[in-house]
Amino acid sequence: MLKGIFPPITTPFVNDEIAFDKLTENISRWNKTDLAGYVVMGSNGESAFLTRDEKLKLIENVKKNSDKGKILIAGTGSDSIKETISLTNEAAEKGADYALVLTPSFFKEKMNSNSFVKYFTEVADKIDIPLIIYNVPKFTGVNIEAASAAKLSEHKNIIGLKNSSENVAHLSEIINNSSDDFVTLVGTASILYTGLCAGAAGGVLALANIAPNECIEIFNLFNEGKLKQARELQAKMIPVNKAITGKYGVAGLKSSMDILGYFGGEPRSPLNMLSENEIKDLKAILTKAELL
Amino acid sequence: MLKGIFPPITTPFVNDEIAFDKLTENISRWNKTDLAGYVVMGSNGESAFLTRDEKLKLIENVKKNSDKGKILIAGTGSDSIKETISLTNEAAEKGADYALVLTPSFFKEKMNSNSFVKYFTEVADKIDIPLIIYNVPKFTGVNIEAASAAKLSEHKNIIGLKNSSENVAHLSEIINNSSDDFVTLVGTASILYTGLCAGAAGGVLALANIAPNECIEIFNLFNEGKLKQARELQAKMIPVNKAITGKYGVAGLKSSMDILGYFGGEPRSPLNMLSENEIKDLKAILTKAELL
Amino acid sequence: MLKGIFPPITTPFVNDEIAFDKLTENISRWNKTDLAGYVVMGSNGESAFLTRDEKLKLIENVKKNSDKGKILIAGTGSDSIKETISLTNEAAEKGADYALVLTPSFFKEKMNSNSFVKYFTEVADKIDIPLIIYNVPKFTGVNIEAASAAKLSEHKNIIGLKNSSENVAHLSEIINNSSDDFVTLVGTASILYTGLCAGAAGGVLALANIAPNECIEIFNLFNEGKLKQARELQAKMIPVNKAITGKYGVAGLKSSMDILGYFGGEPRSPLNMLSENEIKDLKAILTKAELL
Amino acid sequence: MLKGIFPPITTPFVNDEIAFDKLTENISRWNKTDLAGYVVMGSNGESAFLTRDEKLKLIENVKKNSDKGKILIAGTGSDSIKETISLTNEAAEKGADYALVLTPSFFKEKMNSNSFVKYFTEVADKIDIPLIIYNVPKFTGVNIEAASAAKLSEHKNIIGLKNSSENVAHLSEIINNSSDDFVTLVGTASILYTGLCAGAAGGVLALANIAPNECIEIFNLFNEGKLKQARELQAKMIPVNKAITGKYGVAGLKSSMDILGYFGGEPRSPLNMLSENEIKDLKAILTKAELL
Q: Cα A26–A32–A35 angle (5° rounding)?
A: 85
Rounded mean pLDDT of D129-145? 98
Q: Is the pLDDT of residue D180 over 90?
A: yes
* Neighboring chain C residues of B274 at a CB cutoff of 8 Å: none
* Neighboring chain B residues of A194 at a CB cutoff of 8 Å: 168-169, 172, 194, 197-198
pLDDT tens for chain C, residues 1 to 292: 899 999 999 999 999 999 999 999 999 999 999 999 999 999 999 999 999 999 999 999 999 999 999 999 999 999 999 999 999 999 999 999 999 999 999 999 999 999 999 999 999 999 999 999 999 999 999 999 999 999 999 999 999 999 999 999 999 999 999 999 999 999 999 999 999 999 999 999 999 999 999 999 999 999 999 999 999 999 999 999 999 999 999 999 999 999 999 999 999 999 999 999 999 999 999 999 999 9
Domains of chain D, by residue range, sit at: 4-224
Reported as a single tens digit per residue, the pLDDT across C111-124 is: 999 999 999 999 99
What's the pLDDT at C1?
80
Reported as a single tens digit per residue, the pLDDT across A63-87 is: 999 999 999 999 999 999 999 999 9
What's the pLDDT at C268?
98
| Mutation target among C170, C193, C197, C281 for the D interface, most CBs of D within 10 A | C197
CB contact under 8 A, D138 and A109: yes
CA atoms within 13 A on the CB side of B245: 29
What's the pLDDT at A194?
98
What's the pLDDT at B96?
98
ipTM: 0.96
Measured CA to CA in angstroms, residue B23 lies from B33, B48, B61, B207, B264 at distances of 16, 18, 8, 17, 9
Chains within contact range of chain B (3+ C-beta pairs < 8 Å)? A, C
What's the pLDDT at A9?
98
What's the pLDDT at A1?
80
CB contact under 8 A, B231 and A199: yes
**How many Cβ atoms from other residues are within 10 Å of residue C235's Cβ?**
18
Print burial letters for A221-253: b (CB count within 10 Å at least 16), e (below 16): bbeeeebeebbbbbbbbbbbbbbbbeebbbbbb
Contact (Cβ atoms closer than 8 angstroms) between residue C134 and residue C108: no
What's the pLDDT at C284?
98
Chain A contact present for B170, CB below 8 A: yes
Share of chain D above pLDDT 70, in %: 100
What's the pLDDT at A99?
98
Reported as a single tens digit per residue, the pLDDT across B237-276 is: 999 999 999 999 999 999 999 999 999 999 999 999 999 9
CB contact under 8 A, B118 and C43: no
Chains within contact range of chain A (3+ C-beta pairs < 8 Å)? B, D
Reported as a single tens digit per residue, the pLDDT across B118-137 is: 999 999 999 999 999 999 99
CB contact under 8 A, A82 and D49: yes
What's the pLDDT at D1?
80
| pTM exceeds 0.95 | yes
| Mutation target among C41, C54, C107 for the B interface, most CBs of B within 10 A | C107
Residue type at position B58: L
Q: Which residues contact A225 (CB under 8 A, 6 or more apart)?
A: none
What's the pLDDT at B1?
80
| Cα distance between residue B176 and residue C119, in whole Å | 43
| Cα distance between residue C135 and residue A68, in whole Å | 62
Bridge partner residues of C132 (DSSP): C100, C160
Contact (Cβ atoms closer than 8 angstroms) between residue D159 and residue D182: yes
- CATH fold of C4-224: TIM Barrel (3.20.20)
| Cα distance between residue A51 and residue A17, in whole Å | 11
**Longest pairwise C-alpha distance within chain D:** 50
What's the pLDDT at A56?
98
Cα-Cα-Cα-Cα dihedral of A82, A88, A92, A97, to 10°? -140
Residues of chain A short of pLDDT 50, as ranges, are none
Reported as a single tens digit per residue, the pLDDT across B148-207 is: 999 999 999 999 999 999 999 999 999 999 999 999 999 999 999 999 999 999 999 999
| Cα distance between residue D258 and residue D244, in whole Å | 13
